[in-house]
Amino acid sequence: MQATTLAPPLTVNTCSFVTSSLRTITLFLIAACAISTGFAAQKSSKSKTRPHAAVPTPGPLYSTRPEVMQLADDLAQRRNLDPAWVRSAIGQARLVPAIQRASTPPAVGTPKNWAVYRSRFIDPIRIKAGVQFWQNNRETLARAERETGVPAQIIVGIIGVETIYGQQTGSYRVIDALSTLAFDFPNAHPRAADRAKFFLSELEAYLSLTARTSTDPLALKGSYAGAMGLPQFMPSSWAKYAVDFDGDSRVDLFHSAADVIGSVANYFVAFKWQPGQPTHYPVQFDLARLDRATLLAPDILPTFSAQTMQDKGVLLEAAAAAHPGKLALVELQNGADAPLYIAGTDNFYAITRYNWSSYYALAVIELGQEVAAALPPIPSMPK
């Protein structure tokens, strides 16, 4: 296999899919199927994106780093890829300092603020775009909810928070983002070694995916972390969870709203979404009995029964008190103001598997709720 020039827009391979219920779709449908290189064609009628600011000038080519080229050879051997093709792909990647800066954590002691975080994602622009997306894809969203049990408003919330429904899908070359974070992850991060290892595995997944689908690895663009398409799937997630939901025999998370909707729903099915279960409940405290430290120790992982939470000083409404599964006491800080507390269910935890943040999960939930509330009523059929 040889490295190729920039692939023509929407050049793909095809394969057959089983079209039964999404619940029966295996997590590795993409293994022999194409991804679209259509991000390179941002003028497609299916993808209207906002113009992005120019990406800062990147650093030198990784081909000048012998230790990286050795890692490229090791990667090729592990993934059974052509070493020359892998060397060419990684060698043409560049270190991007802006990506390093974006990956550097805030200074220790920087206060978190749920109100500020919420305002970044729940605003008139996203709500209006979400209403339009829902109206354009009402039948597909209903089918995904019917087949998987994942509510349409959760799917809509994810896509809105991630990319404003395709308006902001990222302007970094994926090969640059993944190489920068695999080989030059910022040392200031407290888990720098683990994060670099993660991004090396994502670089491997990306090169395997593009090799398998005859896609130019230099052509695709995404976020500073290498996430791609409307749902911002990392390469490993694309390989495991992306599905052909529009039945055209290819998976396209850049242009096919149906594939995006089905793939987001399939992601949550894989992480054990419980149909019909709420994502969270409001809480109040009996301060005289509250064992806050014990309740917060597991963080967002549902650990306590409703009865145990009540025994430790949490006052639950009737629905929460009758909740049959485990709950987590989730704290969302509000800067100098009092924190917000909720009781998160297994479904709240499932949303955090998309992005490991309780702030993110609640923003997804509330954006979906706001979009659903803003939907105009469906006109009744004449009698």
> For the chain, which residues make up each domain, given as ranges?
280-344
Q: What CA–CA distance (Å, rounded) separates 158 from 181?
A: 24
Helix, strand and coil percent figures for the chain, each rounded to 5:
45, 10, 45
Q: How confident is the model at residue 110 (pLDDT cuts 50, 70, 90)?
A: confident
pLDDT of residue 282: 98
Q: What CA–CA distance (Å, rounded) separates 255 from 39?
A: 8
Judged against a pLDDT cut of 90, whether residue 324 lies above it is answered with: yes
Give mean pLDDT, residues 174-189.
95
Judged against a pLDDT cut of 80, whether residue 50 lies above it is answered with: no
Judged against a pLDDT cut of 80, whether residue 46 lies above it is answered with: no
Give me 283's structure tokens. Answer: 């809480």
Higher pLDDT among residues 363 and 58, named by residue: 363
Judged against a pLDDT cut of 80, whether residue 8 lies above it is answered with: no
Q: What CA–CA distance (Å, rounded) separates 135 from 133?
A: 6
Q: How confident is the model at residue 334 (pLDDT cuts 50, 70, 90)?
A: very high
pLDDT of residue 162: 98
Instruction: Name which of 59-63, 182-186, 282-286, 318-322 the model is least confident about.
Output: 59-63
Judged against a pLDDT cut of 90, whether residue 209 lies above it is answered with: yes
State yes or no: is 162 an active-site residue: yes
Q: How confident is the model at residue 381 (pLDDT cuts 50, 70, 90)?
A: low
Give mean pLDDT, residues 284-306.
97
pLDDT of residue 106: 79
Residue 227 per-residue DSSP state: -
pLDDT of residue 281: 98
Tell me whether residue 357 is exposed, middle or buried, using C-beta atoms within 10 angstroms of its C-beta: 0 to 12, 13 to 18, 19 or more. middle
Q: Are 183 and 150 in contact (CB under 8 A)?
A: no
Give me 381's structure tokens. Answer: 């059929």
pLDDT of residue 383: 61
Give mean pLDDT, residues 214-223.
96
Average pLDDT, the chain: 87
pLDDT of residue 58: 67
Judged against a pLDDT cut of 80, whether residue 1 lies above it is answered with: no
Catalytic entry in 162, 202, 331, 370: 162
Q: Please write the tens of the pLDDT for every residue from 184-208.
A: 999 988 889 999 999 999 999 999 9
Instruction: Name which of 45-54, 147-156, 166-175 the model is least confident about.
Output: 45-54
Q: How confident is the model at residue 382 (pLDDT cuts 50, 70, 90)?
A: low
Q: Please write the tens of the pLDDT for every residue from 230-240.
A: 999 999 999 99
Looking from the CA of 21 toward its CB, the CA atoms found within 13 Å total 8
% of the chain at pLDDT higher than 90: 79
Q: Are 223 and 232 in contact (CB under 8 A)?
A: yes
Q: Please write the tens of the pLDDT for every residue from 246-289.
A: 999 999 999 999 999 999 999 999 999 999 999 999 999 999 99
Give mean pLDDT, residues 298-317.
97
pLDDT of residue 188: 84
Residue 277 per-residue DSSP state: -
